[in-house]
Amino acid sequence: KRNVQYISTGVKALDELLGGGIETRAITELAGEFGSGKTNFCHQLSVMVQLPEDKGGLKGKALFIDTENTFRPERIVQIAKYRGLDPKEALKNIFYARAYNSDHQMLIIDEAKKIIPKENIRLIVIDSLVAHFRSEYPGRENLAERQQKLNHHIAQLLKLADIYNAAVVVTNQVIAQPDMFFGNPLKPAGGNVIAHGATYRIWLRKGKENIRVARILDSPMHPESEATFKITEEGLID
């Protein structure tokens, strides 16, 4: 297999489910309903990537592209402390970009190739990948244009991931649908473009209280199974 590396999620059960963690040179989609833990997961990975390799990281930095204004520095501080990092350093190692619309989001990715190698960025997060596209191109009449733009965006992301041996992690909303999707009346948004563009698709759902359940969708490499984790002050834990 081509030379890939893994970022530990910080959750043993999840790393096992994923065959080592979040893979570089790939796009991993986190899909799930509100409160299922997508944004927490993104914060966690932005810290985990910074750890040395013997602790599950890549000793690299993160680029966090925020479309919904849900990045919380204080959350990074909590997670970094728990993982034994200097919180100030951890924050400095996360390059933050607020994307104000879908064109801006794509522009940030175009520009990112300048800083990724210079800053040793090994993780690119987009939380959320599809929100701007969905609100700017609503309805059937805009579907073709929206999907074409998303397709281009995803291709650009995969290219960056491959060239710089970085992991790309994107979040996705789930939408109601008429047919059942893996036994669920919801399915990830973005249609085929994301279904085919994402290398790995992780479906998150809420359990009791702070418990969350992750399942990997349609991966040839991973048998269909689930892992549970908790969302706490310290981030995601077993």
Pairing between strand 121-127 and 167-172? parallel
Site for Mg ion (CB under 5 A): how many residues? Answer: 3
Q: Of 96 and 119, which CB lies nearer to ligand ATP in the complex structure? A: 96
Q: How far apart are CA 39 and CA 42, in angstroms?
A: 5
- Scanning 67-75, 90-98, 190-198, 210-218 for contacts with Mg ion by CB under 5 A, the matching segment is 67-75
Q: How far is CA 225 from CA 19, 60, 230, in A?
A: 12, 30, 17
Report H helices in the chain: 12-17, 38-48, 73-82, 87-92, 102-119, 131-136, 143-163, 191-197
Q: Is 39 in the site for Mg ion (CB under 5 A)?
A: yes
Sign of torsion over alpha carbons 76, 8, 181, 144 = positive
CB of 51 or CB of 189, closer to ligand ATP:
189
Question: Which part of the chain contacts Mg ion (CB under 5 A), choosing from 38-46, 94-102, 118-126, 172-180?
Answer: 38-46
Least distance in angstroms from the C-beta of 42 to Mg ion = 8
- Please state the closest distance from residue 39 (CB atom) to Mg ion, in A: 3
CB of 5 to ligand ATP, least distance (A): 25
Number of H helices, E strands in the chain: 8, 13
CA gyration radius, the chain: 17
Query: Which of the listed partners (ligand ATP, Mg ion, none) does 122 bind, with a CB threshold of 5 to 8 Å by partner kind?
Result: none
Chain residues binding ligand ATP by CB under 6 A are: 32, 34-40, 70, 210, 231-233
Tell me how far apart the 2 most distant CA atoms of the chain are, in Å.
51
CB of 113 to Mg ion, least distance (A): 26
CB of 32 to ligand ATP, least distance (A): 5
- Shorter beta-carbon distance to ligand ATP: residue 124 or 160: 124
Sign of CA dihedral 216, 44, 156, 194: positive
Catalog residues that contact Mg ion under the rule CB under 5 A: 38-39, 70
